[in-house]
Amino acid sequence: MRKIIHIDMDAFFASVEQRDNPELRGLPIVVSYDQPRSVVTTASYEARPFGVHSAMPIAQAKKRCPHIVIVEPHFYRYKEVSAQIHSVFHEYTDLVEPISLDEAFLDVTDNKKDISLAIDIAKEIKQKILEQTGLTASAGISYNKFLAKIASDIRKPNGIFTVHPDKALDFIARLPIENFWGVGPKTAERMHRMGIFTGEHLRAVSLAHLKQVFGKAGEIYYSFARGIDNRPVEPYRERKSVGCEETFVEDVHTEAQIVIRLYHIILELVKRLAKNNFEGHTLVLKIKWDARNQITRSITSEKILRTKDQILPLAKYLLHETEYRTRPIRLLGLSVTNHRTEGDRFAEWVEGELDFKD
């Protein structure tokens, strides 16, 4: 039986800011930019009782907590601290799968210190992180990634929770469907309409029905409801895309403004592609009209997309496939990916123009 630990730092960005700035300790803070369209990246635990949470618009956070303190992010510092934390992980195993700067999976089935119990490893890691960084972390332990991830949220902050194999099915049965990995608000709402509110309800639905409603994701939900997750902890995670986007302070209305913004996003995208040495064939355009409505369009080229001259005509084509002339735009983004989605247009260069194939 595998021994998987999921480590999740507690309110990481906010905790780093409070550690480095003693005057912020004990105050409700959010890490964000104080701009109309900004969103909260992290909320301190002092801010959370007011209903403030990550991904919330900063304007809404101010309404819920009028005395909220907004701290601009220092990403270079978060990366430094993250490197310290990951060096602790590697003292115990090289099977470390980073999920983000502040969380990772560890497979400690065969660990460097020959410690038999995963909970003892988790306790040591938490203590070393505290000693070396002054920050707390929460840990979840189980026999697969799905359960370890959920377990790390059970006793936050600064807690440890274990889901034992012999108790996993009972644990899953009581679990709200919103807590399942991969179930977002829209999927949860759809499941609620099907009468699915807990893991027990989900387990009662046939595989055929779940696949019919949710496609390939239905197979994942079916397995998770039964405590099955065979994904290994992968130390190297291949980058699947490189992108950038801009949220405008004021909605962009005119065609000229939109094309200029698109051009500057392309220039930034080209820089990021070069920096990451990324090779992809599919360009994805993302447009957000408002908080609830957004679209994506994609197109695939036979050539690797590296330069402005390669990307610009594709981006313009995708833009013209949208309603960009008729509605103000809040956010515009572009990304290059290796993944081709079903229904993509396929393009190649013919005498300097785009030739589209089925």
First CA to last CA distance, the chain:
47
Instruction: Quote the strand ranges of the chain, DSSP E.
Output: 4-9, 29-31, 42-43, 69-71, 96-100, 103-107, 137-142, 160-162, 241-252, 282-288, 294-301, 329-337, 345-350, 353-357
CB environment 130-168: b (16+ within 10 A), e (fewer): eeebebbbbbbbbbbbbbbbbbbeeebeebbbbbeeeeb
Task: Report DSSP letters for 160-183, one per residue.
Answer: EEE--GGGHHHHHHHSBGGGSTT-
Task: Report DSSP letters for 288-325, one per residue.
Answer: E-SSS-EEEEEEEESS---SHHHHHHHHHHHHHTTTTT
Report cis status (omega within 30 of 0) of the bond before 22.
no
- CA–CA dist 324, 262 (Å, integer): 12
Catalytic residues: 103
Four-CA torsion 320, 321, 323, 329, nearest 10 degrees: -70
DSSP category for residue 22:
G
